[in-house]
Structure 1
Amino acid sequence: MARVSVTVWLLVCALCGLSGFWVSRRRPRTGEPATFAAFRLAGRAAPALRTGLNRDSARRSVRHLRCLLGTASLVVTSTDQVLAGAGDGRPGDAEALAGARAVAASGRPYLADGVVAVPLVVDGRVVGALLACDAEVTGGLVRTVAEVGRWVSGQLELAELEVSRRRAVDAETRALRAQISPHFVYNSLTTIASFVRTDPERARELLVDFADFTRYSLRRARDFTTLADELTCVDRYLLLERARFGDRLRFSVQVAPEVLAVPVPFLCLQPLVENAIKHGMPGEVRVVIRDAGPEAHISIEDDGVGMEPARVRDVLGDDHEGGIGLSNVDSRLRQIYGQDYGLVVETAPGKGTRIRLRVPKYRPEPSPL
């Protein structure tokens, strides 16, 4: 979050600083302040840049960046190829790449006849260059191109952060699967084996339930599924656990039909139900999902032994062995929806445990944090 704030601050400083230079070269629309015009152009370039530095993002942003600078032309390069250009009098590819290599080697602006080249830097690495071309290269132009280069670098860093965030979410999903698979697979297969001779029909039904559960939980990771699919997974899981524990496990599921299509993070309910069974046996597990206007409110409750508050903090901590299911769900909810959307755990010794979570009905668009 700090890196994002620094980037926003750099944007404000850069745009306010260059607006005076920009207005001296290009008259803004009637009644449109120069600073607002600069922000408008930067805002048009930002979405493309936040996908990373490539031909498509360069092509979609270069025209807006050239208008922002007010130069005759602008070229965007990686370290080894020209990605896009806009305007008249652009240098040839060989000349542009020479400028890009010069700034990559030094990390500083490069000046040639009518050309200002500045580096694009992501995480301390030069990944490309901006080359602004104009009839006259002044000190003001050099400073302005350098500021825009820093702003573009900030957008590219945000793109890198988004990639890292998605990799972290995928890693957490893989970790969650690893936590489910060893214990549950062994216990389920052992339970099914116990019915093979005494009740073959029951064994066949449980095998189908087991196949459905594993097909869902071990499929290729996706960020979102629906509450209906998550509940189907929970239903199969509960049937298998009921076969294992018999009458010692009781459960009920109440769902408002209006929320079945709500998009939710993949594998966000089953770990909470598993936790309720683990700490609530013997006893009853209740899953209640209500329609709450713009949100779906979900509650997983057991009437088991409960926990001390310090134990809850330990279970939700990243370093708690065996608590990866809860900590994984909690961290993913906060990453996706914001810090206000983590798990809420209500418990006390001898009072059972209730885990509550809220899920917005919309599916959030990917963002650079």
Structure 2
Amino acid sequence: MPDSPLLTAAAIAVIVLAVAVVVGVGLKVIRSFRDLGTDAERATYNTLHAASRAGQHLRGGLQAAGAAKASRQLRALLGSEALAMTDTNEVLAWDGAAEELRPRLMGLASGVLASGRTIVVPGDRNGGYSAVIAPIRAGSRVVGSVAAFAPAAGAGLVRATSEVADWVGVQLELSELEASRTLLMEAEVRALRAQISPHFIYNSLNAIASFINTDPARARELVVEFADFTRYSFRRHGDFTTVAEELRCIDRYLLLERARFGERVQVSLRIAPEVLSTVIPFLSLQPLVENAVRHGLEAKEGPGHITICANDSGAFAQVTIEDDGVGMDPEHLRSVLAGHTDGDHVGLRNVDARLRQVYGDEHGLVIETAPGEGTLITMRVPKSQPGHDA
């Protein structure tokens, strides 16, 4: 039975549409390929991409797991049949062919580790594979080696292997720098914890003692709050907390201070619920409130007022702590934040430095003050902080 003209037309239309789709997809692929640029630009992109991926695996230092993943990327860069990485004691990773040579590598690399110089081992000593072994240096120390294996070791492979080893060394130096920054932050937190020492503890215990005979129930309540406050302040885990946890710490701190100052310390809170879960550096708000009490209100005659606000500001959480105390000279404040004044406003300087280290200089404390005009401190932190766990 012959096809009807309508069916024939429909079939032709479907075929035309299919061809158009194929052509469109093909043009898009070609256009995308052209967008990568010339062969040299594509080669540069591939090199940088591989180096970037390898660098991610070396952020934890020269460890077996990271070295194994990085070696795959680095072997692709060198185009060698095999690539190995060692520390000063053992082979950490081997990627590619000729793994039967692995037990011999530390013997071959011993001269490199001792002298810090690249060597070439001819193929007749390695089952047909020539080896280029280059030292990995972190600063002035040789901490390991990179070995590339190929049928022949030309000048290009020798130079490229040495450059890769130098690049690995730079990554390790960066990881050590990051570790040093982490240790510095931990040391600063410990210093800040040490600051919560004689002055506050002595006064708190005196305030608690004053209630033992006159109001035992209040004394027991203050002992519990004091224990909770010190437990939080001296906790051993984590460099970060949340706004909610820090506010709870501040509440306990102020309860103890009000036991000493009575109605002289008045506090207002305006907290947006959506910022309570925002991650912030541990002990970054409480020292600012303590600064307001000790340096703002304690020297003021009569009652003083502290206002604590936490607001949602787009991609940031903004916290302000304002007091109507005695204030301070702006020039003196700049000297304090620059670390030129020892033993004065330690908490303020510590918090400002840690915020800058974690988030960048643009996230340091913003402080507005003048003698007799009180102090307003503003802190802005990103609400999204991948890698920072409270």
- Give me the whole-angstrom Cα distance separating, in 1, the residues matched to 2:114 and 2:170: 20
| Contact 1:286-1:300 at 8 Å conserved across structures | yes
Compute the displacement of 1:32 (Å).
7.7
Query: Aligned match of 2:46 in 31, 34, 37?
Result: 37
- Structure-1 residue corresponding to 2:31: none
Partner in structure 2 of residue 125 of structure 1: 141
CA contact (8 A) 1:170 1:221 kept: no
Paired residues, number: 338
Q: State yes or no: 1:248 paired with 2:269.
A: no
Would you say 1:347 and 2:347 are equivalent positions?
no
Q: Cα offset for 1:181?
A: 2.2
**Is 1:284 aligned to 2:284, yes or no?**
no
Q: Does 1:310 align with 2:304?
A: no
| Structure 2 CA distance for aligned equivalents of residues 149 and 91 of structure 1 | 23
The Cα shift of 1:98 comes to 2.1
* 1:191 to partner: Cα distance: 0.4
After superposition, the C-alpha distances for 1:325-357 in whole angstroms (9 at most, x for unaligned) are: 111100110011111000111011111111111
The residue identity in structure 2 corresponding to 1:307 is M
For residue 31 of structure 1, report the CA deviation from its aligned partner.
Answer: 10
Say which SS state the counterpart of residue 362 (structure 1) adopts. coil
Partner of residue 301, structure 1:
322
Find the aligned partners of 1:75 and 1:139 in 2 and give their Cα distance: 19
Deviation string, structure 1 residues 117-142 (Cα, Å, up to 9, x no partner): 00111121111000101111111111
In the aligned structure 1, how far is the partner of 2:211 from the partner of 2:108? 74
SS at match of 2:197: helix
* TM-score normalised according to structure 1 size: 0.88
Q: Which amino acid counterpart does residue 311 of structure 2 have in structure 1? A: R
Check whether the contact 1:317–1:323 (CA below 8 A) recurs between aligned residues. no
Deviation at 1:88, TM superposition (A): 1.1
Distance 1:322 1:222 in 2: 27
Once the two structures are superposed, the pairs formed by residues 1-369 of structure 1 within 5 Å of their partners are 33-90=42-99, 92-113=101-122, 114-281=130-297, 282=300, 283-319=304-340, 320-365=342-387
1:330 corresponds to which letter in structure 2? D
1:94 shift after superposition = 4.3
- CA offsets, 1:51-87, max 9 Å, x none? 1101111111111111110011111111110111011
RMSD of equivalent CA atoms: 1.7
Query: Which secondary structure does the structure 2 equivalent of 1:129 belong to?
Result: strand
CA drift of 1:100 comes to 2.2
User: Which has the bigger relative contact order, CA under 8 A and spacing at least 6?
Assistant: 1
Q: TM-score under structure 2 normalisation?
A: 0.84
Residue 72 of structure 2 aligns to a residue whose secondary structure is helix
Q: Residue type of the partner of 2:387?
A: E
Alpha-carbon separation, structure 2, partners of 1:331 and 1:104? 39
2:94–2:102 Cα contact (<8 Å) kept: no
- The CA distance in 1 between the partners of 2:174 and 2:100, in whole Å, is 29
- Deviations 1:277-302, CA, capped at 9 Å, x for gaps: 11222411111111111111111111
Q: For 1:306 and 1:91, how far apart are their aligned partners in 2?
A: 73
Question: Percent of pairs identical after alignment?
Answer: 53
Secondary structure, counterpart of 1:301 in structure 2: strand
Query: Does the CA-based 8 Å contact 2:363-2:380 persist in structure 1?
Result: yes
Letter in structure 1 aligned against 2:344: G
Decide which structure has the larger Cα Rg and report it. 2
Give unpaired runs (5+ residues) of structure 1.
1-29
**CA distance, structure 2, for counterparts of residue 263 and residue 57 of structure 1:** 28
Hey, what's the Cα distance between the residues in 1 that align with 2:158 and 2:99? 17
Alignment-mate amino acid for residue 170 of structure 2: G
The separation in 1 between residues aligned to 2:245 and 2:53, in whole angstroms, is 38
> Following the alignment from structure 1 to structure 2, what is the Cα–Cα distance between the partners of residues 280 and 42?
52
Query: Residue 17 of structure 1 aligns with which residue?
Result: none
Does the CA contact (< 8 Å) of 1:259 and 1:291 recur in 2? Answer: yes
Q: Deviations over 1:152-204 (max 9, x none)?
A: 11111111111111100100000000001222111101100000001111111
Q: Which amino acid aligns with 1:60?
A: K
Cα separation, 2, equivalents of 1:287 and 1:168? 29
Instruction: Point out 4+ residue stretches in structure 1 off by more than 3 angstroms.
Output: none
Larger CA deviation: 30-39 vs 247-256? 30-39
Shift of 1:35: 1.4
Change (3 A) 1:125 1:207: same
Tell me the CA shift for residue 90 of structure 1: 4.0
Contact 1:75 1:90 (8 Å CA) reproduced: no
CA contact (8 A) 1:227 1:259 kept: yes
Aligned to 1:13: none
Once the two structures are superposed, what CA deviation does each residue of 1:303-341 show, in whole Å capped at 9, x if it has no partner? 111111111123223342132211110011001111100
| Long gaps (5+) in structure 2 | 1-38, 123-129
Counterpart of 1:296, as a letter, is A
1:15-43 deviation line (CA, Å, top 9, x unaligned):
xxxxxxxxxxxxxxx99822112122212
